[in-house]
Structure 1
Amino acid sequence: KILFWDTNGFWLYYRRLEQGRFQWPKQTNEHTAMGIEQRQLQWLLSGLPVSNQTRHPTLSGLSVM
């Protein structure tokens, strides 16, 4: 569940996996909030682990003939 404030109210986002569990990263201190990047949130919502994930490098100058 994600609680998001938008201008004049909250949105509640809810997602359920049909099988398995979301692979939420381990927190060092359970009393503090943990920040994640947008792409990490996308990975989580897709059922992928956040730890040890790196994106493919951006390529430029490629052409298809």
Structure 2
Amino acid sequence: MFALSSSLNYQLYLPGTDMRKSFDGLCGLVLGELGHSPLDGSVYIFINKARNKVKLLHWQSGGFVLYYKRLEGGTFELPKYDASVGVLQLDYTQLVMLIDGVAITNIARRKRYEKAC
């Protein structure tokens, strides 16, 4: 089943990515640039330099799933970040807002109940 949920870990790769890369090329970025395993169950998010295309790479049982969105107008707004870090941790809400075009820089989160594990 194709599904993204709040239970997954989302990693935004910050340098602009060549969108000609597919499964193997994006896995190479995850391994070589981030030092992570693309098989760890995280969803890796790649945005091109023009910020009008996004790809999400996710390992599910048996293989990779690649989600791809191209904007016909406008750009994806990235959160503010330190240029020295190569990846930002996002939560599901931030991912959805990024994909939907909502600025995630000045959003204040209200306290919510979280079940203690």
How far apart, CA to CA, are the structure 1 residues paired with 2:62 and 2:85?
28
Q: Which amino acid aligns with 2:66?
A: L
Query: d(CA) in 2 for partners of 1:51 and 1:42?
Result: 14
- Residue-pair matches, total: 58
Question: Does structure 2 retain, via aligned residues, the 8 Å contact 1:17–1:47?
Answer: no
The answer for the alignment partner of 1:11 in structure 2 is 65
Please say which structure displays the higher CA radius of gyration: 1
- Residue type of the alignment partner of 2:82: T
Q: CA RMSD in A?
A: 2.2
- The match for 1:39 is 93
Task: Please state which structure has a larger fraction of its residues in strand.
Answer: 2
1:4-52 deviation per Cα after TM superposition (whole angstroms, max 9, x unaligned): 1111211111111221100011331444321101011000110111111
Q: What fraction of aligned residue pairs are identical, expressed as a percent?
A: 36
**Other-structure match for 2:8:** none
Please tell me whether the aligned partners of residues 80 and 105 of structure 2 are also in contact (alpha carbons under 8 angstroms). Answer: no
Unpaired runs of 5+ in structure 1? Answer: 59-65
Instruction: Name the SS for the 1:4 alignment partner.
Output: strand
**Deviation, structure 1 residue 57:** 8.2
Q: What stretches of structure 2 of length at least 5 have no aligned partner?
A: 1-54, 113-117
Richer in helix (by share): 2
Q: TM-score, normalised by structure 1?
A: 0.69
